[in-house]
Structure formats: C-alpha cells, structure tokens
Amino acid sequence: MPSEGTRDAHVHRMSRRKMMKGVAAVLGAMALPAKDAPASVWESFFQKNFRELSPEELNGVLSRLQKEYSEKYKKAVTVRATPPVEGVLYGYGLDLSRCIGCRRCVYACVGENNQSRDPQIHWIRVLQLNKERGVDLEEAEHYYNPAKVPEKGHFYMPVQCQQCEYPPCVKVCPVQATWKERDGITVVDYNWCIGCRYCMAACPYGARHFNWKKPALPPAEMNPETHYLGNRPRPVGVVEKCTFCVQRVRNTPGRYTACVEVCPVGARKFGNLLDPESEIRYVIENKRVFILKEDLNTRPKFYYFYAT
C-alpha cells in the first residue's frame, strides 16, 4: 500500500484548504475599493470609529463628508460633530391628553433629519389606541387614515427612540457602532455600522430603522445643517434612529427639536432633566407621568404624561 507522500508526490494537489484560502483572498480583494477609486473612498474605508478619532482626524473626516455631500446635493452642506453640552441630560415629554394623531411630527422629522423618502423611513410612529383599552400595544393601529383626527373613542401615542438610560440596542452591537452619549442621546456612527440589525431586534420600541436600499433624498428637500452622529445623509445598509435632533439641540442656546416645533397642539415638551426650572422637570414633578414598557428596566428619558 503506497504511502500518501509517494502516491501524490508528482501531482500538483489542490487541497480544500488551499482552495478556500484562494477564494477568501479573491473575495477580500474584491471588497476593497477599486484601484482608481477616489481618495475619499479609500479614506472612508480606513476611517476609525468616531470615538477613536483624534481632533485632527475628525476635522479631516468632517471636511471630506462636507465636500462629498455638497457635491452630491448641489448645495453648501455643513457636517458638524458638536459635542454634548456640559451639565445637560435631555428629557422629552409627550402629553397624551393633547395629542390628536395628526402626524405633523412624523413628516417634520423626516424633513429635518434627511430620512429616505423611498423606501420610506419614519423615526416616529403614531399609534392609535382605544380609550377603553388604554395603552394596549397589541391593539395599536398605526395605519389609521380617517378624514379628520382625533377619532371618537381613541387616543394617540407617538413612539420614537426613548433614549434609554440602559439601551439594549447599545448592548448588543457587536462592533460598538452605537453608544449613549453623555447628554443621554444614543447615536450611531453610520461609517462604522455593519448593518447586522441586532440593535433593531433588541430595541423594545421599534425605534431603529434600516436602510434596505440606497436612501432616496431629493437634493431640494435635503437639510444642509447636519451632524455627523445625526441627520447627515446615510449610506445603504446602516441603521438609523431618532437623536433628539442632535444637530439642533446641542448648542447654547439650542433650538427645540423639529417635532416639538411643529406640533399644532403643543403636546411635545423638551428640556434638560438636570435643570429644576425646565419644562420637563415641571411635567415630571406636577403631572401624571409614565414611561413605556417600564418593566423592561430600560429607563427611558421619554415621558408620556397627562396634563389634565
């Protein structure tokens, strides 16, 4: 019986292992940007996680993105990375006794935050609930479309990112592309996200949304005031979510979020939880307040309340 060595010594033998190595090398090479790709593609390919960028590197990234977006959308786009304001923890209040379910907030958010129009991405979902059943999410309907709202016997509960103190979405991210900032806002680094969608499965509020296709954002409707961690245009294959309009609120003075400003019934309240004079503190101290899915211990900073 000839041994292994003597039998195949004269044959070039393609082992399974060798073949797999070759396939991996070819696929790996294909994943790299093409040789004649613009320098910016190579730069974004080798870009570090947002939190590891040095100030100089961050400036480079921001100016590269600014140039890229300005060319793409044919207008002067600014991309900022404004850090959290010290001594601020954002909190949000939503008055369920006022909300009439008109969805103005949904579309104001889309306009402000450059979501994809087609396929459609909405960061706010307005639930129509039965007054007799109360907050019974099994019975919630978000495709309601009567001629006029509110409909008799119903109340409305808009749901968006609750900016949890213990965000389950952050916990499950395998690459740390999403994290909670010091001011309580959970953000995503779209350049670091690998699109695994674990966070979407982990979020109990359905607040995270995936770009299944290349987002369609008409240049005329594009909001050019953007934040790296917020409303800058997203690539295909990444997850996005409400950031409390990080591009607006992280300033002194900072603007109210787009949903607060558009609400025709003034049901939406926003402010600093650490400031005893703020509207949100007044709400928490004087009104009947609840948080959604309290039993999950996510500790949302989004407070539903009844003003009457």
Partner 1 sequence: MNTERMRRASVPAAAALLLFLAAGWASAAEHPKATPPAKKERAPEHLQFAVPTPPFTPGIFPCSECHKEMKPNPTRRELKDEHTNIVLNHAQGQRWCLDCHDVSNRDKLHLVSGEKIGFEESYRLCGQCHGDKYRDWKVGVHGKRTGMWNGEKQYLLCVHCHNPHDPGFKPLAPMPPPVRPEAVRK
Total residues belonging to the chain: 308
Nearer to partner 1, 73 or 244 (CB): 244
Nearer to partner 1, 62 or 99 (CB): 99
Separation CA 156–CA 176 (nearest Å): 34
Confirm or reject binding of residue 284 to partner 1 (CB under 8 A): no
Q: Position 135: which residue type?
A: V
Tokens (6 digits) for 248:
């607006």
Confirm or reject binding of residue 22 to partner 1 (CB under 8 A): no
Q: Position 125: which residue type?
A: R
Nearer to partner 1, 154 or 191 (CB): 154
Separation CA 93–CA 300 (nearest Å): 11
Confirm or reject binding of residue 255 to partner 1 (CB under 8 A): yes
Nearer to partner 1, 86 or 132 (CB): 86
Q: How far apart are the first and last CA of the chain?
A: 93
Q: How far is the CB of 161 from partner 1 (least distance, A)?
A: 16
In sign, the C-alpha dihedral spanning 49, 51, 52, 58 is positive
To which H or E segment does residue 79 belong? strand 78-80
Q: How far is the CB of 230 from partner 1 (least distance, A)?
A: 16
Q: Taking CB under 8 A as the criterion, which residues in 99-118 touch partner 1?
A: 100-104, 106-107
Phi, psi (degrees; rounded to nearest 5) at 14: -90, 100
Confirm or reject binding of residue 230 to partner 1 (CB under 8 A): no
225-227 and 78-80 as β-strands: parallel, antiparallel, unpaired?
A: parallel
Q: How far is the CB of 273 from partner 1 (least distance, A)?
A: 12
> Total residues contacting partner 1 (rule CB under 8 A)?
47
Which residues, including other chains, have CB under 8 Å from residue 213's CB and lie 6 or more apart?
Answer: 116, 119, 236
178-180 and 186-188 as β-strands: parallel, antiparallel, unpaired?
A: antiparallel
Phi, psi (degrees; rounded to nearest 5) at 269: -125, 145
Confirm or reject binding of residue 143 to partner 1 (CB under 8 A): yes
Residue from 263, 298, 300, 301 touching partner 1 (CB under 8 A): that is 263
Residue from 22, 38, 83, 146 touching partner 1 (CB under 8 A): that is 146
Nearer to partner 1, 65 or 109 (CB): 109
Tokens (6 digits) for 15:
């082992």
Residue from 132, 145, 174, 295 touching partner 1 (CB under 8 A): that is 145
Confirm or reject binding of residue 62 to partner 1 (CB under 8 A): no
Confirm or reject binding of residue 272 to partner 1 (CB under 8 A): yes
Residue from 150, 168, 204, 237 touching partner 1 (CB under 8 A): that is 150
Q: Position 305: which residue type?
A: F
Interface residues toward partner 1, by CB under 8 A: 85, 88, 93, 95, 100-104, 106-107, 119-120, 122, 125, 142-150, 249, 252-256, 260-261, 263-266, 269-272, 275, 279, 282-283, 286-287, 307
